[in-house]
Structure 1
Amino acid sequence: MAAFIIGGLDAAGWLLIYAGTFFSQSDPATKGLDNFAGLAVTVVFLLTGVPALALAWRNRAPRLALALSLGFPTGFVLLFAVAVAAFA
């Protein structure tokens, strides 16, 4: 049950980030970076959040589902830290 709840929060977080990056009215010079960030977060969600939700929905491998659902926020934080370090 926890994996399903966290997976739902992952999906909501991904949707907010997706909308913020792909539909932002940012400067045209940085629009490519916004799109790349949105694509990177989408890939992380597809690799962690979607399988976690599928496993939780089918009540299969609850530990793996929980680990995968926690993988999205972890991956997002790591991507953000790399971006901050790269542009600092």
Structure 2
Amino acid sequence: MRVKKVKSDNKSLMKKIEADQTEIDILKVRVEELEEEKARRDEQNKNFEMKNKELEAAKALKEHELYMMNKVLENMLGKSVEQLFEEIAVEEIRMKR
């Protein structure tokens, strides 16, 4: 009787081991999928960072060009661009009145 009980317990434990092993295998596959997804996203992030640096460099260049154009205008007109903007704004207000 005792041998039968041990054999029965052994069978149930073997089934549990098989079920656990199946779950472990499923989790291993899921981990691999997540690692692949992480690698893909890391690569995508690198690409975004490179694109961001390119855009920042282009923005800095445009800002410098705008600054230089303002300096050229100020030099040609003999007044600062801000001063000219203020004069134009005052003129527009006078015209509206």
Same structural fold, with TM-score higher than 0.5 when normalized by the shorter chain: no
Relative to the length of structure 1, the TM-score reads 0.31
Relative to the length of structure 2, the TM-score reads 0.28
Structure showing greater radius of gyration is 2
Q: Which structure is higher in helix share?
A: 2
